[in-house]
Chain A
Amino acid sequence: MASRDVVSYDTPLSRVLRILASLFLALYLVWTLLPFVVMFVSSFKDMLEAFKLPAVGDWAGITVFFEFTPTFKHYTSLFTENSFGTYILNSLIAAGGSALISVVFGSLAAYSLSRVDFKGKQDLFFWIISTRMAPVVAVMVPLYAIFRSLDLVGTLPGLILAYTTFNLPFAIWMLKGFFDNVPYAIEEAQMVDGATRFEAFRAILPLVAPGIGAFIVLCVLFAWNDFLFAAIIGSGGAKTLPVATRELVQPQNIQWGSIMAAGVVTTAPMMLLGLVIRKYLVAGLTMGAVKE
């Protein structure tokens, strides 16, 4: 076993590298977080204040950014002049519905794929995962034609089905990894003790429940953030938050204050959810390739 403390001498080179590293980190954090700050602060600014910029090259003028009287009018106008209440509900139903369908059916399929071996399993598995990898626009071309003939375009059920195209394969792929980690011996032990097959399955559920919960949240996240499906399949009757936010951009009149407020409304819940399932987030975003 290697010792934990490596003896490293403080050479001039390593000192320079350390300073450079801190500088790089600081700059990167500013670059990553600044847009959030601008979005958040601008959502409380009146139109004219939001557009105030210092003269070019006037670095001291940056303080202009913080000179404003906070107003909530953009947030209230989202709900009074616009019907963001309905859009939030649409987003919730579409994302939640597809997440539930995906995880319920996905976990059944994942469980059986994990426990049984048959010819062609690898091919079936590849087909399942390739539907998750397909470009959204390419999937949407035939889906749009089919949904139009079934009158599903512009309805929430249509949108839920559309989101299931990428959430269900994702759930099967991720949850199979989960069930693979639960030894079959646990179920066997239960059955030796007299449990039926179904009771044995129920016995391992507590082991996978936190993961399943986390993947419901991840499915919600993907569907909530989607724009393309919602813009085409959901156009008309099932407007979700990203689409509604986009529609605030009108050729003659871009309502930046409202857009920033809508951005906060759309982003904040997902950030909170992301923090809640922080443990599973990395695995979920990399399709299970990387676990922390």
Chain B
Amino acid sequence: MTDVSSLSGSTRDMGAQLFRARAHSVEVEARPRAEISHKPRNFNPPLPKHYYFYLMAPAIAILAFISLYPFFWLIIMSLQDVTIGGGEWVGLKNYTKLFTDARFLEGWVLLAKYSIMCLGLQVGLGVTLAVVVNSSRYEKYLVTALLMPMMMAPAVAGLLWLFLYNGTFGWYHWLLQSAGILDSASILAGSNTAMYAIVLVDVWQWTPLITIIALAGLKRVPRDQLEANMVDGASPLRNFFAIILPNLYPVLLIAVLLRFMDNFRFIDSLLVLTGGGPGSATKILPVYLFEVAFKFFKLGRGAAIALTLLLVTILLGKLLVRVFEKPQGGKG
């Protein structure tokens, strides 16, 4: 309080008075709050905890049987040479082999390549689409139309695109050829074009997911910031990059993580379209795993690959849950 003492007498008095008044009011305000903090007598206490555990038990038991138990099995299998009759312990052989398995390493590289291409296109297209749809009068109908591809079974989508890509009677092949982008070579037979083809199918089916997520984010962009920026003479483009995009960032992160994990999870359309071919040009890791485990029935080796895949997914999942819990994440 050295400052107060240096002031002239009258101001010091006033200061002291003010201080006293404030202290008083704090005291007055504090009193009822303290009384309220007495808990009211609980006439009907909540259930004892163990009843809640009884309610949880069936679900936990089912999950334990279909997810925890298999997980331990997976670890055991990865240490074995599994055949139809049973298993034979081989130690870490399944793992050490992976380091020299070119297909395995290539599978990761292709998975990364595939995911980056899918996500790049989906986020670019999806956000643009969301901005356009958001300013449209027919938003409701447009969103309904956009949801349609996501309702289709991915395997059926794969078959449909197999038809569209066909070299002799596929309409998309004809379209691309007529536009001068392609020659007459079949799309799915070329190793480069096959990769683009499966990426396009994923983009077709799942860009709308990014769009609806971004659309929900756009609704939360503060209007006053936009107005202030426009009053300052910003162009619509500048508005987009300076205000809308930074505000969208948290929801986009969720969208990207969700899609990224789905690229690990689902290979239905890919299996139908190329099955990993031509050669191994589209053999992303989950497809390679599918081949090892369910075509050649090397379940032990498959288990080792599956564990590496699971590990990465769990790390991604941790990240996702952390993003979910942030308030901007839009939960609740």
Binding site for B on A (CB under 8 A): 2-3, 6, 8, 11, 13-14, 17, 21-22, 24-25, 28-29, 31-36, 38-39, 42, 50-54, 56-59, 65, 101, 105-106, 108-109, 111-113, 115-116, 118, 126-131, 133-146, 161-162, 164-165, 168-169, 172, 177, 180-181, 184, 188, 191-192, 197, 221, 224-228, 232, 241-243, 245-246, 249, 256, 259-260, 262-263, 266-267, 270-271, 273-275, 278, 281-282, 285-292
When distances are taken between beta carbons in the complex, the residues of chain A under 8 Å from B217 are 290
Contact B163 A128 (CB under 8 A): no
Is the Cβ of A17 less than 8 Å from the Cβ of B236? Answer: yes
Inter-chain CA distance A271–B306, complex, in Å, is 33
Contact (Cβ within 8 A) B73 A113: no
How many residues in B have their beta carbons less than 8 Å from beta carbons of A? 112
A278 to B147, CA, bound (A): 9
22 A-B contacts (beta carbon < 8 Å):
A6-B227, A13-B236, A28-B129, A33-B148, A105-B58, A126-B317, A130-B313, A130-B317, A131-B63, A136-B267, A142-B71, A143-B66, A177-B332, A191-B43, A191-B44, A197-B44, A228-B266, A228-B267, A260-B160, A262-B156, A267-B153, A289-B331
Given contacts A109-B60, A270-B151, A285-B209, are A2 and B224 in contact (CB under 8 A)?
yes
- Whole-angstrom distance from the CB of B288 to the nearest CB of chain A? 9
Query: A177–B145 contact, CB under 8 A?
Result: no
Q: Please state if A289 and B324 are interface contacts (CB–CB under 8 Å).
A: yes
CA distance A2 to B160 in the complex (A): 48
Q: In the complex, what residues of A have CB within 8 A of residue B230's CB?
A: 6, 8
Q: A32 near B310 (CB under 8 angstroms)?
A: no
B52 touches A281 (CB 8 A): no
Q: What is the bound-complex CA distance between A290 and B237, given in angstroms?
A: 26
A146-B331 in contact (CB<8A): no
Compute how far the CA of A289 lies from the CA of B332 in the bound complex, rounded to whole angstroms.
9
Q: Which residues of B contact A285 (CB under 8 A)?
A: 150, 209, 212
Chain B, interface SS category:
helix
B294 at the interface (CB under 8 A from A): yes
Q: Give the distance in Å from the alpha carbon of A256 to the alpha carbon of B169 in the complex.
A: 11
Q: Which residues of A contact B236 (CB under 8 A)?
A: 13-14, 17
Contact B133 A25 (CB under 8 A): yes
B74: chain A residues within 8 A (beta carbon): 138, 141-142
A290 touches B213 (CB 8 A): yes
Asked if B278 CB lies within 8 Å of chain A CBs, one says no
Chain B residue contacts of A33, Cβ below 8 A = 145, 148
- List residues 151-166 of chain B with CB under 8 A from any CB of chain A: 151-157, 159-164
- List B contacts of A288 (CB < 8 A): 331
Q: Which residue in chain B gives the minimum CB-CB distance to A165?
A: B66
Taking the nearest CB of chain A, how far is it from the CB of B326, in angstroms?
Answer: 11
* B187: chain A residues within 8 A (beta carbon): none
B294 surroundings in chain A (CB, below 8 A): 140, 144, 232
